[in-house]
Amino acid sequence: MNRMLKWMWLLLGAALAWPALAQTWPAKTIKIIVPYGAGGPADIYARYLGQRLQGPLGQSVVVEDRPGGGSIIGTDAVAKSAPDGYTLLMMSNTHTVNETLIPKKPFELMRDLAPITGVNYSDLIMVVHPSVPAANLKEFIALAKARPRDLNYASSGPGTPYHMAGELFKAMAGVDIVHVPYKGSDGARVGILGGQVQMMFDAITTMAANARAGKVKALATSGKTRSSVAPDIPTVAEAGVPGYESGIWLGLMAPAGTLRPVLERINAEVNKVIDAPETREAWAKQGASPMGMPIDAFDRFLRAEIVKWADVVRRSGAKVD
Protein backbone atom coordinates (compact mmCIF):
# COMPACT_ATOMS: atom_id res chain seq x y z
CA MET A 1 0.00 0.00 0.00
CA ASN A 2 2.79 2.43 0.90
CA ARG A 3 4.45 1.77 -2.44
CA MET A 4 1.19 2.40 -4.28
CA LEU A 5 0.65 5.66 -2.42
CA LYS A 6 4.20 6.73 -3.24
CA TRP A 7 3.62 6.16 -6.97
CA MET A 8 0.31 8.00 -6.82
CA TRP A 9 1.98 11.02 -5.23
CA LEU A 10 4.80 10.92 -7.80
CA LEU A 11 2.32 10.77 -10.70
CA LEU A 12 0.27 13.59 -9.17
CA GLY A 13 3.38 15.70 -8.73
CA ALA A 14 4.42 15.09 -12.32
CA ALA A 15 0.93 15.99 -13.55
CA LEU A 16 1.01 19.26 -11.61
CA ALA A 17 4.52 20.07 -12.87
CA TRP A 18 3.77 19.46 -16.55
CA PRO A 19 1.92 22.74 -17.22
CA ALA A 20 4.75 24.74 -15.62
CA LEU A 21 7.41 22.86 -17.61
CA ALA A 22 5.48 23.36 -20.84
CA GLN A 23 5.11 27.09 -20.14
CA THR A 24 8.86 27.56 -19.67
CA TRP A 25 9.78 25.66 -22.84
CA PRO A 26 11.97 26.51 -24.69
CA ALA A 27 14.62 27.86 -22.32
CA LYS A 28 17.73 26.80 -24.26
CA THR A 29 19.03 25.77 -27.69
CA ILE A 30 17.02 23.16 -29.59
CA LYS A 31 18.83 20.53 -31.63
CA ILE A 32 17.50 18.78 -34.74
CA ILE A 33 19.44 15.59 -35.40
CA VAL A 34 19.53 14.46 -39.04
CA PRO A 35 20.48 10.77 -39.27
CA TYR A 36 21.78 11.24 -42.82
CA GLY A 37 24.74 12.92 -44.51
CA ALA A 38 25.09 16.63 -45.23
CA GLY A 39 23.59 17.99 -48.43
CA GLY A 40 20.64 15.63 -48.68
CA PRO A 41 16.96 16.60 -48.46
CA ALA A 42 16.69 15.91 -44.70
CA ASP A 43 19.71 18.11 -43.97
CA ILE A 44 18.53 20.88 -46.31
CA TYR A 45 14.98 21.04 -44.97
CA ALA A 46 16.02 20.67 -41.33
CA ARG A 47 18.19 23.76 -41.77
CA TYR A 48 15.35 25.56 -43.55
CA LEU A 49 13.01 24.88 -40.62
CA GLY A 50 15.66 25.62 -38.02
CA GLN A 51 16.37 29.08 -39.39
CA ARG A 52 12.68 29.98 -39.43
CA LEU A 53 11.81 28.55 -36.01
CA GLN A 54 14.39 30.58 -34.09
CA GLY A 55 12.30 33.78 -34.15
CA PRO A 56 8.97 32.38 -32.94
CA LEU A 57 10.62 30.09 -30.37
CA GLY A 58 13.08 32.71 -29.12
CA GLN A 59 15.95 30.21 -29.02
CA SER A 60 18.68 28.98 -31.36
CA VAL A 61 17.86 25.89 -33.40
CA VAL A 62 20.90 23.94 -34.55
CA VAL A 63 21.13 21.01 -36.97
CA GLU A 64 23.50 18.13 -36.36
CA ASP A 65 24.11 15.46 -39.03
CA ARG A 66 24.73 11.97 -37.61
CA PRO A 67 24.72 9.58 -40.58
CA GLY A 68 25.32 5.86 -40.51
CA GLY A 69 23.54 2.53 -40.35
CA GLY A 70 20.77 3.57 -42.71
CA SER A 71 19.61 6.25 -40.21
CA ILE A 72 19.93 4.02 -37.13
CA ILE A 73 22.87 5.78 -35.45
CA GLY A 74 21.32 9.26 -35.39
CA THR A 75 17.84 7.95 -34.60
CA ASP A 76 19.08 5.92 -31.63
CA ALA A 77 20.78 9.04 -30.28
CA VAL A 78 17.44 10.87 -30.29
CA ALA A 79 15.55 7.90 -28.84
CA LYS A 80 17.99 7.85 -25.90
CA SER A 81 17.88 11.64 -25.37
CA ALA A 82 15.99 13.33 -22.54
CA PRO A 83 12.29 13.76 -23.45
CA ASP A 84 12.41 17.50 -22.81
CA GLY A 85 11.74 18.93 -26.27
CA TYR A 86 15.33 20.01 -26.87
CA THR A 87 16.37 17.12 -29.13
CA LEU A 88 14.32 16.42 -32.25
CA LEU A 89 14.67 13.98 -35.12
CA MET A 90 14.31 14.77 -38.82
CA MET A 91 13.10 11.40 -40.09
CA SER A 92 11.84 9.93 -43.35
CA ASN A 93 10.20 6.87 -44.89
CA THR A 94 13.53 5.14 -44.19
CA HIS A 95 12.31 4.76 -40.62
CA THR A 96 9.03 3.11 -41.54
CA VAL A 97 10.88 0.75 -43.93
CA ASN A 98 13.47 -0.20 -41.31
CA GLU A 99 10.79 -1.40 -38.91
CA THR A 100 10.57 -4.48 -41.18
CA LEU A 101 13.88 -4.42 -43.04
CA ILE A 102 16.03 -4.13 -39.89
CA PRO A 103 13.96 -5.59 -37.03
CA LYS A 104 16.97 -5.92 -34.67
CA LYS A 105 17.47 -2.23 -33.92
CA PRO A 106 18.25 -0.60 -30.56
CA PHE A 107 14.89 1.20 -30.75
CA GLU A 108 11.33 0.70 -31.94
CA LEU A 109 9.96 3.67 -33.85
CA MET A 110 6.47 4.03 -32.41
CA ARG A 111 7.51 2.95 -28.92
CA ASP A 112 10.64 5.05 -28.42
CA LEU A 113 9.79 8.17 -30.43
CA ALA A 114 6.83 10.56 -30.46
CA PRO A 115 5.33 11.91 -33.70
CA ILE A 116 5.25 15.68 -34.25
CA THR A 117 4.35 16.40 -37.89
CA GLY A 118 5.12 15.62 -41.50
CA VAL A 119 7.38 18.08 -43.33
CA ASN A 120 7.29 17.48 -47.07
CA TYR A 121 7.17 14.96 -49.91
CA SER A 122 9.09 14.87 -53.18
CA ASP A 123 9.45 12.52 -56.12
CA LEU A 124 12.69 10.76 -56.91
CA ILE A 125 14.57 10.98 -60.19
CA MET A 126 16.23 7.94 -61.78
CA VAL A 127 19.59 8.88 -63.26
CA VAL A 128 22.46 7.01 -64.90
CA HIS A 129 26.07 7.98 -65.50
CA PRO A 130 26.62 9.43 -69.01
CA SER A 131 28.80 6.41 -69.89
CA VAL A 132 25.82 4.02 -69.63
CA PRO A 133 24.72 3.08 -73.18
CA ALA A 134 21.02 3.71 -72.65
CA ALA A 135 19.10 6.76 -73.85
CA ASN A 136 15.83 5.91 -72.11
CA LEU A 137 14.33 3.60 -69.50
CA LYS A 138 13.42 0.78 -71.88
CA GLU A 139 16.98 0.69 -73.21
CA PHE A 140 18.33 0.60 -69.64
CA ILE A 141 16.04 -2.30 -68.73
CA ALA A 142 17.13 -4.18 -71.86
CA LEU A 143 20.78 -3.54 -70.96
CA ALA A 144 20.28 -4.76 -67.39
CA LYS A 145 18.54 -7.92 -68.58
CA ALA A 146 21.36 -8.61 -71.04
CA ARG A 147 23.98 -8.09 -68.33
CA PRO A 148 22.57 -9.49 -65.04
CA ARG A 149 24.47 -8.34 -61.91
CA ASP A 150 26.90 -6.41 -64.11
CA LEU A 151 25.26 -3.04 -63.40
CA ASN A 152 24.87 -1.48 -59.98
CA TYR A 153 22.95 1.28 -58.27
CA ALA A 154 23.81 3.58 -55.39
CA SER A 155 21.80 4.37 -52.29
CA SER A 156 22.40 6.28 -49.08
CA GLY A 157 22.08 3.11 -47.02
CA PRO A 158 19.77 0.19 -46.21
CA GLY A 159 16.10 1.05 -46.00
CA THR A 160 16.47 4.57 -47.37
CA PRO A 161 14.01 5.76 -50.03
CA TYR A 162 16.79 5.47 -52.63
CA HIS A 163 17.41 1.82 -51.67
CA MET A 164 13.72 0.86 -51.64
CA ALA A 165 13.07 2.68 -54.91
CA GLY A 166 15.85 0.61 -56.48
CA GLU A 167 14.61 -2.68 -55.01
CA LEU A 168 11.05 -1.96 -56.10
CA PHE A 169 12.33 -1.13 -59.60
CA LYS A 170 14.31 -4.39 -59.75
CA ALA A 171 11.29 -6.43 -58.70
CA MET A 172 8.82 -4.73 -61.06
CA ALA A 173 11.17 -4.46 -64.07
CA GLY A 174 12.51 -7.99 -63.65
CA VAL A 175 16.19 -6.98 -63.59
CA ASP A 176 19.09 -7.99 -61.37
CA ILE A 177 21.16 -4.92 -60.46
CA VAL A 178 23.61 -4.87 -57.55
CA HIS A 179 22.87 -2.55 -54.62
CA VAL A 180 25.84 -0.41 -53.49
CA PRO A 181 24.99 1.27 -50.16
CA TYR A 182 26.87 4.38 -49.09
CA LYS A 183 26.97 5.96 -45.64
CA GLY A 184 24.96 8.94 -46.85
CA SER A 185 23.30 10.46 -49.88
CA ASP A 186 26.26 12.77 -50.50
CA GLY A 187 28.54 9.75 -50.94
CA ALA A 188 26.05 8.07 -53.25
CA ARG A 189 25.91 11.20 -55.41
CA VAL A 190 29.70 11.30 -55.62
CA GLY A 191 29.54 7.67 -56.74
CA ILE A 192 27.07 8.26 -59.57
CA LEU A 193 28.68 11.51 -60.69
CA GLY A 194 32.11 9.87 -60.73
CA GLY A 195 30.93 6.77 -62.56
CA GLN A 196 31.72 4.32 -59.75
CA VAL A 197 28.07 3.23 -59.96
CA GLN A 198 25.84 3.22 -63.02
CA MET A 199 22.42 4.19 -61.66
CA MET A 200 20.74 5.92 -58.74
CA PHE A 201 17.32 7.02 -57.56
CA ASP A 202 17.77 10.38 -55.83
CA ALA A 203 15.52 13.14 -54.55
CA ILE A 204 14.55 15.35 -57.44
CA THR A 205 15.16 18.34 -55.16
CA THR A 206 18.90 17.60 -55.09
CA MET A 207 19.70 15.75 -58.34
CA ALA A 208 17.66 17.64 -60.98
CA ALA A 209 20.35 20.35 -61.31
CA ASN A 210 23.00 17.74 -62.13
CA ALA A 211 20.73 16.27 -64.78
CA ARG A 212 20.14 19.69 -66.34
CA ALA A 213 23.91 20.26 -66.36
CA GLY A 214 24.49 16.99 -68.23
CA LYS A 215 26.46 15.41 -65.37
CA VAL A 216 24.00 12.50 -65.34
CA LYS A 217 21.28 11.28 -67.70
CA ALA A 218 17.75 11.45 -66.29
CA LEU A 219 15.66 8.49 -67.45
CA ALA A 220 12.50 8.88 -65.38
CA THR A 221 10.83 10.29 -62.27
CA SER A 222 9.13 8.15 -59.64
CA GLY A 223 5.75 9.76 -58.97
CA LYS A 224 2.27 9.00 -60.26
CA THR A 225 2.46 12.00 -62.55
CA ARG A 226 5.31 13.96 -64.12
CA SER A 227 7.15 16.36 -61.85
CA SER A 228 6.57 20.08 -62.28
CA VAL A 229 10.32 20.51 -61.86
CA ALA A 230 11.10 18.22 -64.80
CA PRO A 231 7.93 17.96 -66.91
CA ASP A 232 9.87 16.72 -69.95
CA ILE A 233 11.02 13.57 -68.11
CA PRO A 234 8.52 10.65 -68.13
CA THR A 235 7.57 8.73 -65.01
CA VAL A 236 8.94 5.23 -64.51
CA ALA A 237 5.38 3.95 -64.92
CA GLU A 238 4.84 5.56 -68.32
CA ALA A 239 8.38 4.88 -69.55
CA GLY A 240 8.33 1.13 -69.14
CA VAL A 241 7.29 -0.16 -65.67
CA PRO A 242 3.50 0.24 -65.30
CA GLY A 243 2.28 0.80 -61.75
CA TYR A 244 5.64 1.89 -60.37
CA GLU A 245 5.60 4.67 -57.76
CA SER A 246 8.04 5.73 -55.06
CA GLY A 247 9.18 8.90 -53.33
CA ILE A 248 10.68 10.47 -50.23
CA TRP A 249 8.90 12.19 -47.36
CA LEU A 250 10.27 13.84 -44.26
CA GLY A 251 8.86 14.32 -40.77
CA LEU A 252 9.74 15.34 -37.23
CA MET A 253 9.72 13.20 -34.09
CA ALA A 254 10.90 13.59 -30.49
CA PRO A 255 11.89 11.14 -27.75
CA ALA A 256 8.93 9.23 -26.34
CA GLY A 257 7.70 10.82 -23.11
CA THR A 258 8.09 14.40 -24.34
CA LEU A 259 5.26 16.46 -22.83
CA ARG A 260 2.23 16.75 -25.08
CA PRO A 261 2.01 20.56 -24.70
CA VAL A 262 5.64 20.83 -25.89
CA LEU A 263 4.91 18.57 -28.87
CA GLU A 264 1.82 20.67 -29.66
CA ARG A 265 3.88 23.88 -29.57
CA ILE A 266 6.51 22.44 -31.92
CA ASN A 267 3.78 21.12 -34.20
CA ALA A 268 2.08 24.51 -34.36
CA GLU A 269 5.26 26.47 -35.06
CA VAL A 270 6.56 24.02 -37.67
CA ASN A 271 3.21 23.93 -39.46
CA LYS A 272 3.15 27.74 -39.58
CA VAL A 273 6.49 27.66 -41.39
CA ILE A 274 5.33 24.88 -43.73
CA ASP A 275 2.04 26.63 -44.55
CA ALA A 276 3.64 30.03 -45.21
CA PRO A 277 3.18 31.19 -48.85
CA GLU A 278 6.92 31.78 -49.25
CA THR A 279 7.66 28.20 -48.15
CA ARG A 280 5.09 26.72 -50.51
CA GLU A 281 6.45 28.79 -53.39
CA ALA A 282 10.10 27.96 -52.67
CA TRP A 283 9.45 24.26 -52.18
CA ALA A 284 7.29 24.01 -55.30
CA LYS A 285 10.23 25.24 -57.37
CA GLN A 286 12.32 22.44 -55.84
CA GLY A 287 9.68 19.76 -56.43
CA ALA A 288 8.68 19.39 -52.77
CA SER A 289 5.10 19.43 -51.46
CA PRO A 290 4.39 20.50 -47.84
CA MET A 291 2.73 17.82 -45.70
CA GLY A 292 2.21 19.40 -42.30
CA MET A 293 -0.52 17.80 -40.18
CA PRO A 294 -1.76 17.46 -36.58
CA ILE A 295 0.13 15.12 -34.25
CA ASP A 296 -2.52 12.40 -34.21
CA ALA A 297 -2.83 12.46 -38.00
CA PHE A 298 0.93 12.05 -38.34
CA ASP A 299 0.81 9.17 -35.86
CA ARG A 300 -1.78 7.40 -38.05
CA PHE A 301 0.24 8.19 -41.17
CA LEU A 302 3.39 6.61 -39.69
CA ARG A 303 1.59 3.45 -38.61
CA ALA A 304 0.04 3.06 -42.08
CA GLU A 305 3.46 3.58 -43.70
CA ILE A 306 4.99 0.85 -41.54
CA VAL A 307 2.33 -1.59 -42.76
CA LYS A 308 2.71 -0.44 -46.38
CA TRP A 309 6.49 -0.83 -46.47
CA ALA A 310 6.39 -4.16 -44.66
CA ASP A 311 4.47 -5.46 -47.67
CA VAL A 312 6.92 -3.85 -50.13
CA VAL A 313 9.93 -5.35 -48.30
CA ARG A 314 8.36 -8.81 -48.47
CA ARG A 315 7.32 -8.51 -52.14
CA SER A 316 10.64 -7.07 -53.32
CA GLY A 317 12.80 -9.45 -51.30
CA ALA A 318 14.90 -6.47 -50.14
CA LYS A 319 17.62 -7.35 -47.65
CA VAL A 320 20.31 -5.49 -45.74
CA ASP A 321 23.56 -6.09 -47.63
- Strand 217-221 and strand 113-122: the pairing is unpaired
Three-state DSSP class for residue 106 = coil
pLDDT(275) > 80? yes
Superfamily of domain 28-121+248-316 in CATH is Bordetella uptake gene, domain 1 (3.40.190.150)
- Strand 152-155 and strand 30-34: the pairing is unpaired
- Is the fold of 28-121+248-316 the same as that of 124-239? yes
29-46 pLDDT, tens digit each: 999 999 988 888 999 999
pLDDT at 21: 60
Q: Could you state, in order of their start, the residue ranges of all structural domains in the chain?
A: 28-121+248-316, 124-239
pLDDT(224) > 60? yes
CA-CA distance, 129 to 95, in Å (whole number)?
Answer: 29
pLDDT(148) > 80? yes
Whole-number average pLDDT of the chain: 92
Q: Are 114 and 157 in contact (CB under 8 A)?
A: no
Name the helix (H) or strand (E) containing 153: strand 152-155
CA-CA distance, 285 to 232, in Å (whole number)?
Answer: 15
pLDDT at 7: 46
41-87 pLDDT, tens digit each: 999 999 999 999 999 999 999 999 998 888 999 999 999 999 999 99
Candidates 207, 210, 213; CA nearest to 221 is 207
177-207 pLDDT, tens digit each: 999 999 888 899 999 999 999 999 999 988 9
Bridge partners for 221 per DSSP: 125, 235
Cα-based distances in Å from 174 to 84, 164, 240? 48, 15, 11
∠ at Cα 318 (64, 155), nearest 5°?
A: 40
What topology is assigned to 124-239 in CATH?
A: D-Maltodextrin-Binding Protein; domain 2 (3.40.190)
Percent of the chain with pLDDT over 70: 93
pLDDT at 86: 98
Calculate the CA 85 to chain-centre distance.
21
Burial class (CB in 10 A: 0-12, 13-18, 19+), 57: middle
